[in-house]
Amino acid sequence: MHMIREGVKGDTAVRPQKGATGINGEYFRMDTFAKAKFTAVATGQHDGDDLTFAVYQATDATGTGAAQLGATITMAQGVKVKMATVVCTTVQVADTLILQPFYFNGEGALTAGTALTFTAAAAESIPNRQFINTADGDAATSLAACINDATYGVPGLLAAVDTATVTITCTEPGGGDRQVPTTKNGTGAFTITESDAATLVTTDLIQEADFEVYVQDLTRDSDYTHVQARLASIETDVATCVMLERAMAGYGPVGQAVAYTDTSA
């Protein structure tokens, strides 16, 4: 049996941390691998926050001759997240929460589904996607009921309530069956937009972005051999990290620098 760890090397490119506004990761060598993928993860962005994610190349592990590869990615709050919370705080009549699911299109790409608007009202009406705006806990329970309804809710999303907090996730984490693009099994992410950030306090829990590097795209005639991830413009209450996977090693076996390992076998 071929093990993933035998062909793909995993490393932490930027360690998990909170409080830094800009982070430069370590440089990792690419001259013995054909491909690499950086995956940036952000948690805690709210109320219009965003941060930037970029990848650089250099000639050695100390960053000599650093030069950017590709374009800078902006990770904006609420856009194609995998998990988010909404805290109901003195919700007003006519406050709205818009949820737009994204489904896999059968070829591994995300395709936008229908954006649904849930509106606070004096009385709950699930067919009209209206949730009650009375006490905070009641508003949260009613909002979750609207989102979860089999007919009028959001296919592929699940809302769970804890007091006044609604946690929204995908029914099948990671997307499930990507060959079924129009059902809940194919949901991969969702975009969430609140009308008032003071009454429907929305916070991203999981948002990801990735950047793939091919060794042939490095400036090899100038001996560029290493790559690095950088994060910038981070709010101090936002936590981030970046993971790195390098694949198709020119020399084997791939070594994993981990403290512990096991398999399901």
pLDDT in tens, 2-46: 777 778 999 999 999 999 999 999 999 999 899 999 999 999 999
* Paired tokens of 203: 């916070």
Collect all residues with Cβ–Cβ distance below 8 Å to 23 and sequence separation of at least 6: 14, 17, 230, 231, 232, 234, 240
Where the chain has pLDDT below 70, the residues are: 1, 106-107, 175-186, 250-253, 262-265
How confident is the model over 218-249, as pLDDT tens digits?
998 999 999 999 999 999 999 999 999 999 87
pTM: 0.90
- Calpha distance 139→95 (Å, rounded): 11
Side chain identity at 151, as an amino acid letter?
T
The residue among 71, 72, 68 whose CA lies nearest residue 224 is 68
At residue 186, the pLDDT reads 63
- Calpha distance 231→141 (Å, rounded): 37
Collect all residues with Cβ–Cβ distance below 8 Å to 184 and sequence separation of at least 6: 155, 156, 157, 171, 172, 176
- Calpha distance 81→178 (Å, rounded): 17
| CATH tag for 4-11+28-79+207-249 (out of 3.10.350, 2.60.40, 1.10.760, 2.60.120) | 2.60.120
* Paired tokens of 231: 């994060």
At residue 256, the pLDDT reads 80
Token pair 């009406």 in the structure block, residue: 125
- Calpha distance 253→32 (Å, rounded): 11
- Segments making up each domain of the chain, as ranges: 4-11+28-79+207-249, 90-197
Please tell me what DSSP assigns to residue 49. Answer: -
Please tell me what DSSP assigns to residue 254. Answer: P
Distance from the first to the final alpha carbon of the chain: 10
Q: What ranges in the chain are assigned the alpha helix state H?
A: 4-7, 136-148
